Amino acid sequence: MKSVFFTGKGGVGKSTLSAAAGWQLAEKGKRVLVTSFDPAHNLGDIFGEKLSHAIRRYKKTSLFLQETDLEQSARAYLKSSMGVLEEVYSYTKAFNMDKYFKILRYSPGVEEYAALVAMEHLFREEGEIFDYIIIDTPPTGLTLRILALPKVTLAWLERLVEIRREILDKRHTIHLITGKYDEKGTKLPYTEEEDAVMRKLKEMQNRYEKVLSCLTSEDNNIALVCNPDFLSLKESQRLVTGTKELGLPLRTLFLNKVEDQNEDIAKHVEEILTTDLPNTSVKRVPLLRHDAPACYIMDTDITDALGLSP
Amino acid sequence: MSKTKGKRCKGFSWFLWGKALAFFSNFGASHREKAVELTRFEEKELENLFVLLLMGSFTGIPSPPSFIAAELLPHLEHEIKVLNARAKASSDAMAEIIGLLDID
């Protein structure tokens, strides 16, 4: 499975290029999933279809479409966590946990985490089924936070595992001296296999390492979409810096909406960005004159610039 | 007479030996107990630190992403009890350490 993240400033044409890439790859016989992570979806508008969280086949082709509902992802995840909570503390069944979900959407970080959960699910489940997964991302700020999350989470998990290991070491020492675990005789686990917290930490570590390895792998491409204008250039530069810091592979630069009138600016933007991105392939895409839903009529073949082997 | 004296001496030396053994074994046990007490204190401090780090947003400490805490929460009953106990004793933490180290 190969994956492409279309990133860039809002309104530069990420969704259009994602849709076009998906359509063109499907035309070449590939099984493709195009999914939108942008909370303000317009993938459905481009194809003239009503899309939802459920993956849907587009007109009997090998192209599949989805508008990821981040809130639903977060709810599904929290529900599974609450399920474990109910198993451990049966009295929580008395509470109606569902009513808390409504306010959780406003919790800090939930949107990013929901996107991470959806991304992990994509790589794990859909990666087996599709040749290509194309992800239409939200504007730069949120995208960078989502892409940074596996690395940040792993750094925290590493520290927590270290502390937990020290705790288990101390418990083991006490067990060796006294033959029991706690002063009140409570049985506290002292091996990594017995300790549920350590097991959970390692399971999470394993999960995020997999996501990170998918993001940094040869089969992944962070494609940057930029328009020939100053604001788009500035935001693209922030994205270039961000992906460099995270060690993510930015392989393609799409200069979108290039016309005769803005040719000079496009050249200037390209020069600036390619100085920061020496090994990146650049593709110019002219302004699309057709109205949606007609992205698949796009004449420019953009799949050759994706930098992923066929 | 000398035989009885010899027997008494032998008995006394056994008695002394027994006392010395008891003394040293109690001495060892008391040190072991002290070592266990100190290790337990360290363990509790680490458990406290662990859960404080996880739920740092309650206390204003930079915390890991909240979903790590959410996933671990069902298994943290013991640690949360320790956190509560530590919070209650926090006004007199110095006295606890002084007591633990036997400083008068």
Domain residue limits, chain B: 2-100
- Interchain CB contact of A149 with B (< 8 Å): yes
- Interchain CB contact of A81 with B (< 8 Å): yes
- Which of A262-266, A275-279, A280-284, B63-67 comes out lowest in average pLDDT? B63-67
Instruction: Over range A140-168, report the average pLDDT.
Output: 91
**CA separation for the pair A56, A63 (Å, rounded):** 9
* Closest chain B residue to the Cα of A174, Cα to Cα: B36
What does the mean pLDDT of chain A come to?
84
| Identity of the residue in A113, A156, A170 whose CB atom sits nearest the CB atom of B39 | A170
* Closest chain A residue to the Cα of B53, Cα to Cα: A160
- Interchain CB contact of A5 with B (< 8 Å): no
Q: What is the ipTM of this complex?
A: 0.71
Which chain B residues touch A84 with a CB distance below 8 Å? 74
Which chain B residues touch A81 with a CB distance below 8 Å? 70-71, 73-74
The DSSP secondary structure of chain A, one letter per residue, reads -EEEEEEESTTSSHHHHHHHHHHHHHHTT--EEEEE--SS--HHHHHT----SS-EE-TTSSEEEEE--HHHHHHHHHHHHHHHHHHH-GGGGGS-THHHHHHHTTSTTHHHHHHHHHHHHHHHHGGGT-SEEEEEPPPHHHHHHHHHHHHHHHHHHHHHHHHHHHHHHHHHHHHHHHSSSSTT------STTT-HHHHHHHHHHHHHHHHHHHHHSTTEEEEEEE-SSHHHHHHHHHHHHHHHHHT----EEEEEEE-STTHHHHHHHHHHHHHH-TT-EEEEEEPP-SPSS-GGG--S--GGGG----
The CATH number of whichever domain residue A153 belongs to comes to 3.40.50.300
| Identity of the residue in B53, B65, B72 whose CB atom sits nearest the CB atom of A197 | B72
Q: What does the pLDDT look like over A56-89, one tens digit per residue?
A: 999 889 999 999 887 777 777 667 666 666 666 6
A159–B53: do the CB atoms touch at under 8 Å? yes
- Which of A133-142, A176-185, A266-275 comes out lowest in average pLDDT? A176-185
Q: What does the pLDDT look like over B56-91, one tens digit per residue?
A: 766 677 777 777 887 888 888 888 888 888 888 777
Q: How confident is the model at residue A22 (pLDDT cuts 50, 70, 90)?
A: very high
Q: What does the pLDDT look like over A168-221, one tens digit per residue?
A: 999 999 888 887 666 566 678 889 999 999 999 999 999 899 999 999 998 999
**Residue A101 scores a pLDDT above 60:** no
Q: Say how many CB pairs under 8 Å bridge A and B.
A: 79
**Residue B104 scores a pLDDT above 70:** no
- Interchain CB contact of B32 with A (< 8 Å): yes
pTM over 0.95? The answer is no
B65–A153: do the CB atoms touch at under 8 Å? yes
Residue range of the domain that includes A115: 2-306
Which chain A residues touch B53 with a CB distance below 8 Å? 159-160, 163
Which chain A residues touch B43 with a CB distance below 8 Å? 167, 170-171, 174
Number of domains in chain A: 1
Top-confidence residue, A265 or A90: A265
